[in-house]
């Protein structure tokens, strides 16, 4: 079950965190994985790890906010069976202390970047009347989280784009779903804590971990396993859905 032999997958943000864990698992399950990330060294490292595990990966340095770059890379891939939109950035702030530069930066990566990859992938998938798309949204698109104004806005847009693509391409053989993780322990989280809470790293890590009812952050590999299922043929009856993977955050955090 959950084998992807003969499938071609494109994973954005595959240099680290959730995207890297997804790329490693999809390759382990037999897919040829095209690694899409802005960080050249990071995706080369991911590609090396996949190769050492006897998997197949092709790294592509790409700025997902640049539509022409995205189109060129996807056209070079030729056939895409699976797209995972994992690339994203975050920001801490409410409406008053979110400036225009912050707003534009998050919009460009988290919304326009997803749009660019969706458009490029759907165009290719239509030619074969098949394909699976998985977008990474967030619990922030479901519940109010303090000081996450613009991040929540962008993840709400990802959720909405997921529904729209699922509806529009239902009869083209293309499925589109998204997941909404809570906090996941990635290098991004460690960097975020170090930057915003210098000298209080251990305290804040413990506090953020315990904000999930389950008492800890998720591991990237746990997120990847849900992604694998939704991208596999075993999930062929699922489209237009969002799956919280949140340690009980949405329903039990009261």
pLDDT digits (tens, 9 = 90+) for 109-132: 999 999 999 999 999 999 999 999
SS3 61: strand
Class of domain 8-182+221-248: alpha beta
Q: Does residue 80 register a pLDDT over 80?
A: yes
φ and ψ at 183, to 5 degrees?
-70, 135
* Residue 83: band (very low, low, confident or very high) from pLDDT cuts 50, 70, 90: very high
Distances from the Cα of 39 to the Cα of 33, 60, 99, 102, 154, angstroms:
16, 9, 26, 21, 22
pLDDT at 254: 63
Active-site annotation holds for 151: yes
Residue 211, number of CB atoms within 10 A of its CB: 15
Task: Summarize the confidence of residues 1-17 as an average pLDDT.
Answer: 97
Cα 69 from Cα 63, distance rounded (Å) = 7
Q: Where are the domains of the chain?
A: 8-182+221-248, 187-217
Q: For residue range 95-104, what is the model confidence (pLDDT) as tens digits?
A: 999 999 999 9
Task: Summarize the confidence of residues 49-62 as an average pLDDT.
Answer: 98
17: left (phi > 0), else alpha (psi -120 to 50), else beta? left
pTM of the model: 0.96
Which position among 115, 151, 169, 197 bears the catalytic label? Answer: 151
> Residue length, the chain?
254
SS3 131: strand
SS3 184: strand
Q: Which residues of 38-47 are buried (b: 16+ CB within 10 A; e: fewer)?
A: beeebbbbbb
For 179, the token pair is 């997941």
| Mean predicted lDDT score pLDDT of the chain | 96
Q: Does residue 235 register a pLDDT over 70?
A: yes
Supply the DSSP symbol for 129: T
- Quickly list H helices, the chain: 17-28, 40-52, 67-77, 100-106, 113-128, 149-168, 187-196, 201-210, 220-231, 249-252
């Amino acid at each position: 079950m959950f084998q992807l032999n003969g499938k071609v997958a494109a994973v954005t943000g595959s240099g680290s965190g959730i995207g890297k864990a997804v790329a490693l698992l999809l390759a382990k399950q037999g897919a040829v994985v095209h690694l899409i990330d802005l960080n050249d060294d990071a995706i080369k490292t991911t590609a090396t790890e996949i190769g050492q595990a006897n998997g197949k990966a092709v790294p592509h340095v790409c700025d997902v906010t640049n539509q022409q770059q995205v189109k060129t890379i996807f056209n070079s891939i030729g056939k895409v069976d699976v797209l995972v939109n994992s690339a994203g950035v975050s920001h801490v702030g409410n409406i008053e202390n979110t400036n225009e530069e912050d707003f534009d930066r998050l919009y460009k990566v988290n919304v326009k970047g997803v749009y660019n990859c969706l458009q490029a992938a759907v165009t290719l998938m239509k030619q074969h009347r098949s394909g699976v798309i998985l977008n990474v949204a967030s619990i922030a698109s479901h519940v109010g989280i303090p000081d996450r104004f613009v991040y929540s806005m962008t993840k709400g847009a990802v959720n909405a784009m997921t529904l729209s693509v699922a509806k529009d391409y239902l009869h083209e053989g293309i499925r589109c779903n998204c997941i909404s993780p809570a906090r996941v322990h990635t290098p991004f989280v460690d960097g975020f804590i170090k930057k915003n809470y210098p000298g209080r790293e251990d305290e804040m890590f413990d506090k953020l971990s315990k904000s999930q009812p389950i008492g800890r952050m998720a591991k990237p590999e746990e997120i990847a396993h849900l992604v694998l299922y939704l991208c596999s043929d075993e999930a062929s009856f699922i489209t237009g859905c969002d799956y919280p993977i949140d340690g009980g955050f949405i329903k039990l955090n009261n």
